Chain A
Amino acid sequence: MTEQTRIASTFSVLKEAGHLAFMPFITAGDPDMAATLSVIRELGDRGVDLIEVGFPYSDPIADGPVIQASYTRALDKGLHVNDIFDGVRSLPTEELPPLVAMASYALLFRRGVEEFVKQAVESGFAGFIIPDLPADEAGDVGKVVQSHGADLIQLISPMTPKDRATEILKAASGFVYCISVAGTTGVRDDLPPELTEQLNWLRTQTDVPLAVGFGIKGPEQVDILRDAADGVIVGSAIVRMMAGLGTSPEGDATALAEIGTFAESMVQATRKK
């Protein structure tokens, strides 16, 4: 493939400028798709680099209490996969940062991987993170995603031994999702010192950008990662702010502003110093 994917070219531009990527994660459909779309627009306006959109799933074993609760809220309101595709399709996605679908393999398998990926890409997604699909099982899915010009993001955890990481990196495209701590999603106060060590080693093994997620809470952690990583992902901290959406018009405005302000502080923190 000679042509760069949208995600790859986003990282190339950032690297050229010496910036890190800031990638917020949001839950789709919490409290409804209209709110999700306004959050996506707000994040785009504040200059974030990519947006991860979580597809609510009934049994998310990789997620901590905050994201799990937001998935449950969305599903309790009757959210369906098609609502997410329809909502995203209504956005001017070419003008927005690339959107990455974060979805359990249970959802892809049920619809059929080919069908799910096709519909997601047609509606405007540029990549996929499938947290419960380990690299060992991901070969065929990777081919389908690639055939639609999108990226299947591979994950590496602190528990991944080096020889296994080398295998995973062979299939890496877009960026590599480096999980900062063994555990589920959720805000943590510290990043483990071994993380930089692992990132530095991964850097010697691949040219694919390295993005760090799980446990990142705000701008104060960006500096620790500046030299070792190419991007940072924030999930639970933002999803918690989203819980204020859908209460009242004033509540919506406050929550949206809070998310926007936070995103902007992260964008600033990730720009070249």
Chain B
Amino acid sequence: MSIDTASQKATSQVPDVSGRFGEFGRRFVPETLMHALEELTREYERAQQDPEFLAELDKLLSTFVGRPNPLYFAERLTEHCGGARIYLKREDLNHTGAHKINNTMGQVLLTRRMGKKRVIAETGAGQHGVATAVACARFGLNCVVYMGEEDIRRQKLNVFNMRMMGAEVRGVSSGSKTLRDAINEAMRDWMSTVEHTHYIIGSVVGPHPFPMMVRDFQAIIGREARRQCLEAETRLPDEVIACVGGGSNSAGMFYPFVDDETVALTGVEAGGRGPAPGDHASTLTYGHKGVLHGSYSYVLQDEDGQTQDVHSISAGLDYPGVGPEHSYWKDTGRVNYVSVTDDEALAALQTMAKLEGILPAIESSHAIAHAFKAAKQRSKDEIIVVCLSGRGDKDVYEVARLLGQDLD
């Protein structure tokens, strides 16, 4: 592509037919999955053109998930920071308490269209697992969720929740026993069951069409927020902030703003204990271009290409990869990516609870921690919209433990 045509093209016009976001994305998977991915791409494209499919999804999102959720002006937080006006997009108010259900509703309808009866998923924080279990319960599909043993420990409320919904939770004890290993295990399952099983990936990662499809299903976050901001303030925000694990709540939040050049977009990664390898999960801040889980993107890996261990107090951000569209946004400069430490996130969680009466998920607390900093840099007539991707109920045991309290 020549530079001329590239610059004329809106940043939102990706991916191309082979799943390329600029140079990123594509498909790096075993041959066994290739045909299924092609079929899925075709089915998804057909569904997107099908008014019945879209109407059914809309109806589910409004009557079952509870959309649209509010864009809430956080008055006391704004006062506390003394700068820009802070708005929160309340994904925490969705059924199951996070943005993940936007995607599972869309994909479960696709599963039905394809006539598949079994669904598998991976989960880190357990929010995607719960959202998948709920979607499968709602439609009577068989559901298996892979989850790292370490995450099973720190997110036990969600494990119980999934089992209540009839899902089978399979512990993964290989590697770092976290999200990355759960994805490996789900992919392996899919390799041998692909004919009758759909894999509902929980973020904008994996081979094409997943990064595009999950982004599209999550883009309702940004579409609503954009409209709600125009309604409340009669103008677009100056900055939009969201946390980045695999990158789905942020991709869904950013995508409808990508062509609005006046809106600054900021993705917040998990800075963990600090910048040393193994101490954080800031893939875009410290990673290299590479291949992981079927797609080409930034990855935290060593000089041989082996994936590195990562750390975050947040199970949902504890991932060494990131969706390919984020890599594209990073390299084109459209989105700025920053990093927030464990301690900063934990402090933001408590401030938010005390000042607004909202207990955010540890993941979302990373975005909030950065919003505090950003608001202070901006004047009082500027507007910041933060994606509050989920609520903190799932985290109470872990937060109590980190604060030195025992709930048992």
Contacts and interface: CB of A to CB of B under 8 A. Distances in A.
A61 to B, nearest CB: 4
A26 interface: no
A72 interface: yes
A184 B28 contact: no
A164 B246 CA distance: 31
Contacts of A111: 304-305
B291 A104 contact: yes
Interface in A107-142: 107-111, 131-137
Interface string A193-233: 00000000000000000000000000000000000000000
Contacts of B175: 58-59, 72
Contacts of A135: 31
Contacts of B305: 57, 81, 104, 106-111
A1 interface: no
A59 B195 contact: no
B310 to A, nearest CB: 12
Contact of A61 (B27, B35, B288, B294): B294
User: Which of A63, A75, A110, A157 has the most CB atoms of chain B within a 10 A radius of its CB?
Assistant: A110
Given A106-B292, A110-B301, A160-B34, A58 B307 contact: yes
Interface string B296-317: 1001010111110000000000
User: Which of B33, B180, B187, B191 has the most CB atoms of chain A within a 10 A radius of its CB?
Assistant: B191
A157 B293 contact: no
B302 to A, nearest CB: 8
Given A58-B306, A183-B32, A109 B290 contact: yes
A134 B27 contact: yes
A87 interface: no
A39 interface: no
A107 B289 CA distance: 12
B307 A59 contact: yes
Contacts of B379: none
A181 interface: yes
A62 interface: yes
Contact of B301 (A61, A106, A168, A184): A106
Contacts of B306: 57-58, 75, 106-107
Contacts of B292: 59, 106
Nearest to B188: A184
A105 interface: yes
A59 B175 CA distance: 9
A172 interface: no
Contacts of B290: 106, 109-110
B48 interface: no
> Chain A interface residue count: which class?
35 or more
B174 A61 contact: no
Nearest to B303: A110
A137 B28 contact: yes
B188 A109 contact: no
A161 interface: yes
User: Which of A57, A59, A136 has the most CB atoms of chain B within a 10 A radius of its CB?
Assistant: A59
Contacts of A107: 304-306
A182 B191 contact: yes
A149 interface: no
B195 A182 contact: yes
A169 to B, nearest CB: 12
A243 to B, nearest CB: 16
B12 interface: no
A150 interface: no
Contact of A155 (B30, B187, B291): B30
Interface string B14-56: 0000100000001111111111100000000000000000000
Contacts of B303: 110
B222 to A, nearest CB: 31
Contacts of B18: 136
B277 to A, nearest CB: 14
Nearest to A82: B304
B194 interface: yes
Nearest to B30: A62
A61 B307 contact: no
A111 B26 CA distance: 19
Contact of B194 (A59, A81, A137, A159): A159
29 contacts: A58-B175, A59-B175, A59-B184, A61-B30, A61-B293, A62-B191, A72-B174, A81-B304, A105-B28, A105-B291, A106-B290, A106-B306, A107-B305, A109-B291, A109-B296, A110-B301, A132-B28, A132-B294, A134-B34, A137-B27, A156-B31, A157-B32, A158-B32, A159-B31, A159-B35, A164-B34, A182-B194, A183-B191, A184-B188
Given A61-B188, A107-B305, A179-B31, 10 more contacts: A58-B306, A61-B184, A62-B30, A107-B304, A110-B303, A134-B28, A157-B32, A159-B32, A159-B35, A182-B192
Q: Which 10 pairs, one residue from A and one from B, show the smallest C-beta to C-beta distance?
A: A110-B305, A183-B192, A157-B32, A61-B187, A106-B291, A62-B30, A107-B305, A58-B306, A58-B307, A106-B305
Interface of B: 18, 26-36, 174-175, 180, 184, 187-188, 191-192, 194-195, 288-294, 296, 299, 301, 303-307
